[in-house]
Amino acid sequence: MSQFSVIPWNARSWLEVSSQSDFSLQNLPFGIFTSNGRTEPRVGLALGDWVVDTVALFDAGLLAQVPGLNRTHLLAAELNALLSAGSLTWRGLRAQVAELFTAGNSTLLKNSDLHSRLLVKQSEAKMRLPTRVSNYVDFYSSREHASNVGAMFRDPQNPLLPNWLHIPIGYNGRSSSIIPSGVPFKRPMGQLKADTDPAPIFAPTKQLDFELEMAFITGKETALGETISAQKTDDYIFGLALLNDWSARDVQRWEYVPLGPFLAKTFATSLSPWIVTLDALQPFRVNGPEQTVPVLPYLQTAGPQTYDIHLEVLLQSERMSEPLRISRTNFKYMYWSMAQQLAHLASNGTNVDVGDVYGSGTISGPTPDSYGSMLELCWKGTKPIALPDGSQRKFIEDGDTVIMKGWAEKDGVRIGFGEVRTQVLPAG
C-alpha cells in the first residue's frame, strides 16, 4: 500500500470545515466545474463548503512544485489530461493543496485577497461530469442483489446461476448517456409485454427503477493485449463516485433474453460529480464477505479489498417538502471486489482507458431495509413504500427525485461523496 498518499489524520484546515462536511481536508476529491466568474471548465478540489480553483492556484504560482503539472491539465473540461499526466502529478497536486490549506501554513492564510480568487462556494459552482468516459461497464457483484433477483424471477431455492460464484458478471453499458448529478431525464419509451399479453406494445415504462451503485474510475490506461494483475489494480483505479444505474424493469424483462440488458439501461445513468481518490479511502479498507467457492488464480487477491462506505437512498415526490430515506446499506457487502472486477475485465486483453466508469452493480445489504433498488425494496411491487404525502410507490413516478449519498467516517474525520440527485420528467 506504500504508493498511496494519505493526508495526516490529525491535520485540520485554517479554512472553516464543519465536522459534518463530506469534504474534509483528508478527502480533497477531484471534480470539474464552472461558475459565474469562471466560464471555462476547470479542475476543482472540494474542501468544506468550497471548491478550490486549481487554475487560480497555478496562476498564483503556488503549484510550481508539482511534478509534470501543466496549466492545460487544469483548464480542462475533464480530468483525463491530468490523470494521463500520471499519479506523481495528480498526487502531487492533491498533496500541495492539502499543505496550502493546512492550519499553520501561512502562505494563503495571510493573503485574504487571494482567497476570493482561489475559492468558489460550492452552492455557486456548476459541476460537470468529472471525466470523458470512453467505456462504461456495469457489474453485478452483490450476492444479496443477485440472490433477490434470482429468487423473484427464477428459483427461490436456487437463486444464483451456476457461473455467479466464479465470474464477476458484467455487461458493457453506454457511456454517452451518463449524466451528472442534477440533470433530469425523461421517462423512457420501450417495448413492454406482460406474460399474459399476446404481443408487445411501445409505451413509456411503467416500472422505472433506480440502482444504488458505486463506480470506480480508472486513472491509467492499458494497451490492447495487456492484462491487469488482481494484485496491481490499485495502480489503475483513480477513485470512486456514486452511481445510479436507472433501469426500466418491464423493458428489461422482455428484452434481456438472450444477450442481457440493452435499452432498459441505456437511457440515463447518473454519476456524482466528485471523484474521491482511492488514497483518501485507504483508512477505511476492510475485508469483504468470505468467498465461499475458490476463485481461479487470476482472480485471487491478498489482504482487505473493499471499503467501509455508508450509503443511503432518499426519495422525494413533488409534493414532499423533504426527502424520505428509503434504504441504508454499505459498500463493504459486495461479494466481488473492484480488484477482481478490473482483473477479470482486462483478462482477455481488452484495453482500459483513462476516465472509464466501472459500476459495482446494485449494492444490497442483508436486510430488507438495505436493498438497493425499488424492485427489491418493494419486492416486485408486493410491498409498496408509503410516502409522507399520502401516496405509495412501487416504482419511480414522474416528478420524483432520487438522491443517493455516501460517506466513510472514523475518529471524527469524514470522507464523503456528496450526492447524486436526479429528477424524473414525464415521457414525451
Residue 248 CB, nearest approach to Ca ion (Å): 12
The question of whether 145 is a catalytic residue gets the answer yes
Q: Residue 205's beta-bridge partner residues? A: none
According to DSSP, the residues that pair with 33 across neighbouring strands are 42, 127
Nearer to Ca ion, 253 or 285 (CB): 253
Residues within window 68-127 making contact with Ca ion, judged by CB under 5 A:
none
Q: Per this entry, what is the length of the chain?
A: 428
Closest approach of Ca ion to the CB of residue 175, in Å = 14
Smallest separation (angstroms) from Ca ion to the CB of 370: 17
| Beta-bridge partners for 425 | 186
* C-alpha cell read off for 114: 487571494
Distance of closest approach, residue 169 Cβ to Ca ion, in angstroms: 11
**Cα within 13 Å of Cα(258), Cβ side:** 0
For residue 411, is it left (φ>0), alpha (ψ between -120 and 50) or beta? left
Burial 226-262 (b: 16+ CB within 10 A, else e): ebbebeebbebbbbbbbbbbbbbbbbbbbbeeeeebe
The two beta strands, 269-271 and 178-180, are: parallel
Q: Residue from 22, 78, 211, 376 that binds Ca ion (CB under 5 A)?
A: 211
Judged by CB under 5 A, how many residues of this single chain contact Ca ion?
A: 3
For residue 126, give Cα distances in angstroms to 116, 196, 215, 364: 17, 47, 21, 31
Cis peptide upstream of residue 8 (ω within 30 degrees of 0): no
H/E segment holding residue 118: helix 112-118
Kindly tell me which of 45 and 375 has the beta carbon lying closer to Ca ion. 375
Residue number, 78 or 245, with CB nearest to Ca ion: 245
Binding pattern to Ca ion, positions 229-248, x when CB under 5 A? ----------------x---
Using rule CB under 5 A, residue 53 touches Ca ion: no
Stretch binding Ca ion (CB under 5 A), from 40-48, 205-213, 271-279, 328-336: 205-213
Query: 168 by DSSP, 3-state: which?
Result: coil
Nearer to Ca ion, 22 or 138 (CB): 138
Nearer of residues 306 and 362 to Ca ion, judged by Cβ: 362
User: Which is nearer to Ca ion, 89 or 269 (by Cβ)?
Assistant: 269
Rounded to an integer, what distance in angstroms lies between the CA atom of residue 243 and that of residue 241?
Answer: 6
Select the span of 87-95, 100-108, 131-139, 184-192 touching Ca ion (CB under 5 A): 131-139
Binding test (CB under 5 A) with Ca ion, winner from 138, 250, 312, 356: 138
Catalytic residue (choose from 73, 145, 166, 310): 145
- Which of the stretches 210-218, 272-280, 290-298, 335-343 binds Ca ion when contact is defined by CB under 5 A? 210-218
Q: How far is the CB of 210 from Ca ion (least distance, A)?
A: 10
User: 243: closest CA among 372, 375, 148, 122?
Assistant: 372
Mask 343-382, x = binds Ca ion (CB under 5 A)? ----------------------------------------
Residue nearest to Ca ion (CB): 245
- For Ca ion, the closer CB: 54 or 141: 141
Min separation Cβ 362 and Ca ion, Å: 5
Extended beta strands in 119-188, E state: 119-121, 126-127, 136-139, 170-172, 178-180, 185-186
Residue 97 near residue 8 (C-beta atoms within 8 A): no
Residues that bind Ca ion (CB under 5 A): 138, 211, 245
Enzyme catalytic residues: 145
